Structure 1
Amino acid sequence: MQLFSTNLIFSAQYTFDDPLPSNDNLPRLELFIGDRICVYGQHGEWGFGRKFDEKNGKCGIFPLSYVQIVQKSMFVSTSDGYLVVDEISRIINEWWTKIKELMQEGTTIGSFEDLMESFNELLIVKTKIESGGIPIEELSKLRLRVSKLVDRGNTILHLDVVIRDDEGVPLDVESLSLLRTYEAHISSQKRVGSLLVGFSREKSYLEEKKYFLQRSKPENVTLNDSFSLLLSIKSVELHCKYSCEISITLYDLEKKMFTTDCYTFLWNAGSGKHADLNLKALFTDFAKEDIRKKYLMVTRVVHVAPIESSNATMRKHGHETVVPKNFYCRQSYASDIMEMSSIFLAGFIHEAKERVIFLNRETELPIALKSYHATHRIPKNLSNDMETKLLISTQLVPGNVSQIKARHPHLFSRSPAVILRRADRTAVSIEDTRNEMYITLMQAELSGKSSDRNIEARLHVVESNGNVMDNVFETISVTGSQLSTVYKSIVVYHTDKPMWAEPIKIVLPASASHDVYLRILFYSKKSYDKPSQRKDHSQLLIFN
C-alpha cells in the first residue's frame, strides 16, 4: 500500500454508498458530494482514510475515482486560519442540529435573535478568512472574536463550553492532566460569565445608539431605506487585436441621463477570454423610490487603435508594426444596454443572479439609446458575433456604504469592490465633501466642411487667466480613482454631425476659482497614410 501525507485533503466529487465488490468484511467509507476526506493510503484504485470533519470517525476504503485532491490554500491563507474555518464549520453544524431538535420539541430558544447574529457573524468571518490575504494580527483578532461568538452561542443552546487558551485556541483535553483540565474548565466558566455580561452591555449600548440615531433622523427615513447594486464581472470574451476599455454605468430613462459614476477596466489585446476576473463594483445611494424607476445598464467597449488606413499597401503590411502609439485613439468597438427593472423588483435575494451580456457590434450606442426612447425596446441585431460577450452577476445589497462595509467585510478584502456614487444626488453628508460636475458629451454639428471627417473632442478645464487645470477628469477603475488633465472622446467616423453619448466626470479642487471654463476642441483625425501631410484641424467651443 502506498502511504499519503496526512496533510493532503481530498474532496468527494460523487456520492458513494454502494457495497464493496468483495466479501472480505472490509470497512467501507460512505461518501457524500462535498465531503472532505483525509486519505492515509492507496492500493490500486482504492483509497483508505476518514472524513476530515470527523476527528474520531471510522476509517474505511472507497474508490479514488470518486474524490479529487484539494490544497488547503484553496480555502484559507494559513494553517491557523484553516483551523478557525474548520471550527466555524463544525460549530455551525452543531448549532443547526440543536436548533432543529429544539424546534421539533416546541422548546422556546432564549435570545434567539442574539444567536442568529452570532450565526451570521461566524459565516462572515469564515468567508473573509477563506478569501485569503488575512494578516497574522487580524487573524488573531478574528480567532478571539470567533471564540467569544462560539462560547456565547453554546451557552444560549446549553451546549458544552469549549476549553481554550488565552489566544482562543481550543485545547486538547486528552493531552492535559486532570488538575490542568479542571483549572482550564474553571477559567472557561469565568470567561463565559464575563463574556455574557459584556455582550449584554454591548447590546444595550447598541440599542440605545440606534434609538438616538432614529430620533435624530426625519420620521420618513429609516436605516432600511437605502440599498446598493453589487455588480460582479466574472469573465470577458473579446476577439480584437488592440487593447480595449470596457465601461459600465447606469442610465435613468426618465431623466434621460447617466445617473452613476462610470466603472472602467482594461482588456489586453490577444488574450481572447479573461476568465475568473472577480471584478466588483458597488453602485450606491439608491432609495426605496428608485425600485420602480426605469434604469438601463449601459456597457460600452472602446478599442484603442490607429484609424484604419485607406491605403491598400498599408493595410497589406499591417498597421501594428508601423504605427506609433501617439497615433492611437479611442474608437467604438461594441456596446449593449440592459433593462434593470427585473433586478430591482426582485428585491434582496440571497444569491447573486448571473447573466450573459452579448455585445452589439453594429449599432452605435447613441443610436441604440435614441431608438429605445422611441420604441421602448432594446435594439438587438441577429447578425452579432455571439463570441463577444461578458458574464456578470447582479445583487441588491441593503444599507448604505458604511453599513455594507460593516455587514459584508469580505466584499472589501481581496479584490475589493469599487464604490460608484450617484451623479444626480445633491444631498450629501457633512463628512462627504463633493466639488464635482457630471456632464454628457452628446453631439455636435460642424458645418462648413468640404468633406466628412473623423471627429475627436478634447476637453480641458480652464481658469479665467487661461491656465489649464491639472488632474480634473476622473475615471473610476479597478484600482480606484484615476485623474487626468485632458479628456479625449471616442473618434466618430465620416460625419460632420458626430454623436458620442459619453458620460464625463470633473472633480474640482476645493481651492478652485469660481471663474472656471470648459474648453472643447474638435479635431479631425486621419490615418497614418501620409504622416508628412497629416494635420489636425480643430474648432473651439467654450462655455462657463
Structure 2
Amino acid sequence: YLKKVPEKRQFRSLAIYNYDAVQDVELSLQVGDTVHILEMYEGRLQIASKHFGIFPETYIHLKEAIVKDRGQHETVIPSELPLGQELTSTLREWAVIWHKLYVDNKTTQFRHVQQLTYSLIEWRSQILSGTLPKDELAELKKKVTAKIDYGNRILGLDLVVRDDNGNILDPDETSTISLFKSHETASKRIDERIQEEKSLQQNLDLRGQPIFNTTHTYSLYVNFKNFVCNIGEDAELLMSLYDPDLSKFISENYLVRWGSNGMPKEIEKLNNLQAVFTDLSSSDLIRPKISLVCQIVRVGHMELKDGKKHTCGLRRPFGVAVMDITDIIHGKVDDEEKQHFIPFQQIAMETYIRQRQLIMSPLITSHVIGENEPLTSVFNKVIAAKEVNHKGQGLWVSLKLLPGDLAQVQKDFSHLVDRSTAVARKMGFPEIILPGDVRNDIYVTLIQGEFDKGKKKTPKNVEVTMSVHDEDGNLQEKAIHPGAGYEGVSEYKSVVYYQVKQPCWYETVKVSIAIEEVSRCHLRFTFRHRSSQESRDKSERAFGMGFVKLMNADGTTLRDGKHNLIVYKGDNKKMEDAKCYLTLPCTKTEVEEKEAPSGKNLHHLANFTPTKDSTKDSFQIATLICSTKLTQNGRSCVSSTAVSSFFARHP
C-alpha cells in the first residue's frame, strides 16, 4: 500500500488500473481517476471529495503537486510545466469532440482531429520526458501552441491569447487594448496557418506523412509483446530483417533472452522489450519483399528429455518465426498499437528425420524442417508455406516505420524510442552518412564446416567458440555482440547440431573494437565435440582451431565475402599460443597464393599441421566490414564522414 508522504511534499496522482474496493476502508478506482494523496495510507478522489480510502500504490501514477489553502477549500496545483498542463486539458477537450465526430460519421474532420491529437500526444511525451535542451524546448513550445490554436479554431473553440513566447496572457495583468491587439494578431496568424495546412494536405503522398517525401533514412520500430511456446528451458530469440528474394539478412540481430518460466530472463525488461532497426534507405523500402524473421535457440540439454546427469548450457536449434512486413515497410500499414501474431515453426532433430525416413514415405518428411538445414533455407521454406501448424505458439509484436535516423527518431518519437530501446543497425550503410557518424563494425557469419568423425562411430556434435585476440594472444574483452539489447561477450559459442558431419550455422555476430586496434587483432575459432553425457563432456578438449587476421600485410582490411579457413589440429597449448599459429597461413586461398608452405615452416609446430595435408576438416566464414575509416583496397581513401562533411558544407 501507499508509502508515507512527507509533509512538505504532496502528490496528485492518476489511476492506471481499475481497482474494486473489498472493504469499507478501501477506495475504488477507475482508469483515469485523479487521486489526491493525503498522507501515509490514505487518499481521496478529486472528482468526489467525500470519498476517502486506501488502495495499492501500484494502481496509480504519482505526480508531485503544490497544495494551496489546505483544508476544506484547498487547491491542488500540479508542479509540471504549464505547457504540459495545457496540453493535457486540450487533449481532454478535443477527445469529447473527436468522439462526437465519429458518432456523427464526419470522417474527414474525424481524421483531421486524429492527426492533430496524435501530434499533441507525441509532443507532450517529449516535454514530460524532461530530456529536451532549453532551446529545443522553446522551439517545441512554439509548435505546440500554434497547433493548439489552429485546432481550437477549426473546432470552433475559444481562441487563447498569448504573448510572443507562447505564454497565455493574464487578463488581470494585461490592458484591454493589448488583449485586443494580441487577439487580432493571433487570429491573423491562425488564418495563415489554416491556408498552409490546406496546401500541405494537397501535397501528402500515399503514406499520409509529408516528412517521408524528403527523408533518405528510415528506422523500423519493433515492440516485442510476448512469446508463447512450450519449451521447458531457457531460450534466445534472435530477430532480424531479411530479404527472401535474395536470401540475405539486412540487419544485425535483436536479441531477447527468454526464461523457462515464460518471461524475460531479466524481469525488469518485462513489458519493455523494444528495438529499432536503423539505417534503412529508400532502396530498402522498395524491395519487392522483406520479412521480419526470428530464430529461436534453446539453451539447455542436448535433448529435452535429458536429465540432471546430462550436459546443460548447450545452444540447440529449436524453431523459427517469420512475418511478411512488406506492407509496413511500403507504408500501406501504419498502426503501432496493432499487435501482430508471428506463428512459430519448430525444427526437428536430424535423428528424428532419419527415423521418419525409415518408417514413412519421404513425401511426408519433406514438410519437416531439419535442424541442420541452412538458416536461409529454413526461413525460405516457412515463407513459401501457405500455412504453419503453430498450435497457438508464436510471437506478438507491434511495428511502425519511422522516418529519420536514430537521432531523429529519438527526438521526434521519444514516446516510442528512448534510452532503453535496443538499436539494431543495418549491415551496410544508409544512403547518406551524416558527419559524426563514426562506425567500425565487423560482421562475422559462421557459415558451415565439415569435420571428420575420427575414431567415433557417429559424426561429432561440433561447437565453435569464437574470440578476438591481439598479436600477443591477449583476449579482447566483450568485443563480440551476438545481438542488440545486450552488452558484448568475450567468447561466442555457436549452436550445436546433433551428430551432423557438415553443420550449417549461418550465425552472424558483430565484432566491435577500436579502429587503432584492428591492425593488431585476429579472430580465433576453436572446435570442440560436445557430449550429451556431462561426465564425458568435461574431458572433451578442442580438437582443432582456425584463425583469420582482420588486416592484411599491405594495410588493407580483410575483404568482404566468404573465407575458407584452414583447420589446424594438434597440441591444445599451441592452439592457444598466438605466436605459434600467426606465422602460418589462415585461409586456403593464402596457401594457394604461396604455393603451399614448405615442411620446414611447420616443423617447429610438432603435430600442429594444416588440414590441407592431414584431414578433410574444413570451416567457412563470411565477413562484412562497415567502417567509416578502414578501406579494403590498396589505394589511400577519404573516409565517408569527410565526404559527407564536404557535401554538407557545399550543397
Report 1:441-460 matches (<5 A).
441-451=446-456, 452-460=459-467
Normalized against structure 1, the TM-score is what?
A: 0.64
The 3-state SS of whatever aligns with 2:507 is strand
Aligned twin of 1:497: 502
In structure 2, the residue matched to 1:280 is 274
User: Which residue of 87, 90, 115 corresponds with 2:89?
Assistant: 87
When residues 36 and 181 of structure 1 are mapped into structure 2, their CA distance, relative to the original with a 3 A threshold, is same
Distance in 2, matches of 1:539 and 1:196, equals 79
2:517 aligned to 493, 512, 517, which one? 512
User: 1:266: which partner in 2?
Assistant: 257
The residue type equivalent to 2:287 in the other structure is R
SS state at 1:505 partner? strand
Distance in structure 2 (CA, Å) of the matches to 1:477 and 1:308: 28
Q: CA deviation at 1:292?
A: 2.8
**What is the identity, as a one-letter code, of the residue corresponding to 2:242?**
Y
Identity of aligned residues (%): 21
Which has the higher mean CA deviation after the structures are superposed, 180-189 or 233-242? 180-189
- 1:330 counterpart residue number: 315
Cα distance in 1, alignment partners of residues 473 and 417 from structure 2: 42
Which residue is equivalent to 2:423? Answer: 419
- Of 470, 479, 500, which residue of structure 1 is paired with 2:477? 470
Other-structure match for 2:396 = 391
1:300 is matched with which residue: 290, 295, 298?
295
Question: In structure 2, how many angstroms separate the alpha carbons of the residues matched to 1:188 and 1:406?
Answer: 35
User: Residue type matched to 1:456 in 2?
Assistant: E
* 2:489 equivalent to 1:484: yes
What is the total number of aligned residue pairs between the two structures? Answer: 445
Contact 1:235–1:391 (8 Å) recurs in 2: yes
Q: Please state if 1:289 is matched with 2:260.
A: no
Alpha-carbon distance in 1 for matches of 2:17, 2:159? 30
CA distance in 1, matches of 2:388, 2:152: 60
Of 338, 341, 352, which aligns to 1:356?
341
Contact 2:322 2:379 in 1 (8 A): no
Partner of 1:26: none
Please report how far the alpha carbon of residue 423 of structure 1 lies from its aligned counterpart in structure 2 after TM superposition. Answer: 0.2
Letter in 1 for 2:525: I
Counterpart Cα distance in 2 of 1:337 and 1:244: 17
Offset, 1:484: 1.8
Conserved? CA contact 1:368–1:378, under 8 Å: no
Other-structure match for 1:123? 121
Q: Distance in 2 between matches of 1:237 and 1:470?
A: 34
Correspondence 1:246 to 2:237: yes
The match for 1:45 is: none
Counterpart AA for 2:236:
E
In the TM superposition, 1:32-431 aligns within 5 A as: 73=60, 79-80=78-79, 83-90=85-92, 92=94, 121-127=119-125, 150=148, 160-162=158-160, 181=172, 183=174, 223-271=214-262, 277-290=271-284, 291-308=286-303, 318-319=307-308, 328-347=313-332, 349-362=334-347, 363=369, 364=371, 366-367=373-374, 369-370=376-377, 377-378=384-385, 382=389, 384=390, 386-413=391-418, 416-425=420-429, 428-431=433-436
Q: Tell me if structure 1 keeps the 8 A contact 2:466–2:491.
A: yes
Return closer, same or farther for 1:308/1:99 CA change in 2, 3 Å cut-off. closer
> How far apart are residue 488 of structure 1 and its match?
1.0
Would you say the 8 A contact 1:261–1:476 is kept in 2?
A: yes
Distance 1:412 1:526, change over 3 A: same
Q: CA deviation at 1:470?
A: 2.8
Q: 1:541 aligns with which of 510, 533, 546?
A: 546
> Contact 1:148–1:195 at 8 Å: present in 2 too?
no
What are structure 2's unaligned runs of at least 5 residues? 1-11, 19-29, 36-44, 49-55, 66-77, 107-111, 192-211, 348-368, 550-651
Aligned-pair distance for 1:387? 4.5
Instruction: Report the Cα offset of residue 379 of structure 1.
Output: 8.2
Write the deviation string for residues 110-152 of structure 1: whole angstroms up to 9, x where unpaired: xxx9x999765423134557xx8658999x9888985575457
When the two structures are superposed, what TM-score results if normalisation uses the length of structure 2? 0.55
Asked if 2 retains the 8 angstrom alpha-carbon contact of 1:280 and 1:418, the reply is yes
The verdict on how the C-alpha distance between 1:306 and 1:366 changes in structure 2, with shifts beyond 3 A counting, is same
Q: Is the 8 A contact 1:152 1:196 kept in 2?
A: no
- Cα deviations by residue, 1:194-231 (Å, 9 ceiling, x for unpaired): 9999999xxxxxxxxxxxxxxxxxxxx96234322221
Structure 1's 187 and 256: CA in aligned 2 closer, same or farther, altered over 3 A?
same
Once the two structures are superposed, the pairs formed by residues 10-49 of structure 1 within 5 Å of their partners are none
Structure 2 counterpart of 1:234, one-letter code: K
Alpha-carbon RMSD: 5.3
Partner-residue secondary structure (3-state), 1:234: strand
* Distance of aligned partners of 1:470 and 1:533 in 2 relative to their CA distance in 1, 3 Å threshold: closer
- Preserved contact between residue 320 and residue 379 of structure 2 (Cα < 8 Å): no
**Which residue identity is paired with 1:86?**
T
1:183 corresponds to which letter in structure 2?
Answer: T
More moved, 189-198 vs 435-444: 189-198
CA 449–425 in structure 1, closer or farther in 2 if over 3 Å, else same: farther
> CA separation in 2, counterparts of 1:84 and 1:528?
67
Give the secondary-structure state (helix, strand or coil) at the position aligned to 2:236: strand
Distance in 2, Cα, partners of 1:331 & 1:128: 43
- Change in CA separation of 1:167 and 1:439 when aligned onto 2, cut-off 3 Å: same
Given that 2:16 and 2:59 are in contact with CA atoms closer than 8 Å, whether structure 1 keeps it comes out as: no
Deviation at 1:468, TM superposition (A): 3.3
